[in-house]
């Protein structure tokens, strides 16, 4: 029985018999397949001048191209390839957290109280001027050093001498200061040795297969048969 040109069928073998061709998107010459070209045109590819393409059904299923009878179903035009074998699903989440003392590094703080701190200084002063070369004897008294307008008072019981005392330079090792007293420290600890975790925004994705349970067979199309008549 002769088959109608353009008929597509599945077979369990992996080749196209005589008068048939594999539905693998291959290009055919228009000149040698004018009847089939008049039915397919360039719906499935080709330049429409010298070549046209056959449907490519490798890894695909067939759906009706007519308008669907129910709403909610997207119509598929003849020759249009739709669908994918896998999709990537992404999930995005977020949360907020308030940073508190538990999130801070472990730290010890406190207040120092210092009481009774004082300093005692001992000065060792010498002079090489007149009156300082001979050690005083028993019953000796301090008096002015030198004579004349340039004399200087060595010692006065009066807090404000009539003549200003001369400045005596001191070396670093001639002054000794001792500081004494008590200090106490009181305080507490803040933070944690193991800080509390802080949640942040995160995005995860995964690829899922959406292929229906299927079985691989071979699609072939009739290229040599009788021309389908129209009513």
State how far the Cα of 111 lies from the Cα of 185, in Å rounded to an integer.
6
Query: In terms of residue numbers, what domain contains 50?
Result: 1-63+215-231
Asked whether residue 33 is domain-assigned, the answer is: yes
Asked whether residue 41 is domain-assigned, the answer is: yes
pLDDT the model gives residue 169? 63
Asked whether residue 89 is domain-assigned, the answer is: no
pLDDT the model gives residue 210? 83
pLDDT the model gives residue 26? 97
Tokens representing 43 are 């719906």
If one counts the domains in the chain, the total is: 1
CB-based contacts of 181-186 (< 8 A; 24+ apart in sequence): 181/114, 181/115, 181/116, 181/117, 181/118, 182/114, 182/115, 182/116, 183/112, 183/113, 183/114, 183/115, 183/117, 184/112, 184/113, 184/115, 185/110, 185/111, 185/112, 185/113, 186/110, 186/111, 186/113
CATH of the domain at 54: 3.90.1340.10
Which residues of the chain have a pLDDT value below 70? 1, 96-110, 116, 122-175, 183-199
Asked whether residue 19 is domain-assigned, the answer is: yes
Asked whether residue 191 is domain-assigned, the answer is: no
């Amino acid at each position: 029985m002769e088959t109608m040109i353009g008929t597509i069928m599945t077979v369990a073998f992996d080749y196209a018999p005589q008068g048939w061709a594999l539905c693998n998107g291959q290009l055919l010459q228009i000149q040698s397949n004018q009847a089939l070209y008049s039915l397919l045109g360039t719906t499935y590819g080709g330049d429409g001048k010298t070549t046209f393409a056959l449907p490519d059904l490798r890894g695909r299923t067939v759906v009706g191209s007519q308008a669907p009878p129910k709403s909610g179903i997207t119509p598929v035009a003849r020759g249009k390839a739709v669908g994918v074998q896998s999709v990537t699903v992404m999930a995005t989440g977020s949360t907020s957290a308030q940073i508190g003392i538990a999130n801070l590094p472990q730290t010890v703080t406190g207040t120092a109280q210092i009481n009774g701190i004082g300093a005692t200084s001992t000065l060792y002063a010498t002079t090489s001027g007149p009156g300082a070369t001979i050690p005083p004897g028993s019953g000796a008294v301090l008096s002015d050093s030198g004579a004349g307008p340039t004399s200087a008072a060595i010692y006065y019981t009066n807090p404000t001498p009539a003549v200003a005392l001369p400045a005596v330079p001191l070396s670093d090792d001639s002054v000794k200061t001792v500081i004494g007293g008590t200090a106490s420290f009181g305080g507490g600890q803040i933070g944690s040795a193991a800080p509390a975790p802080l949640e942040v925004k995160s995005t995860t994705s995964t690829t899922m297969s959406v292929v229906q349970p299927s079985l691989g067979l071979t699609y072939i199309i009739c290229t040599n048969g009788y021309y389908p008549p129209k009513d």
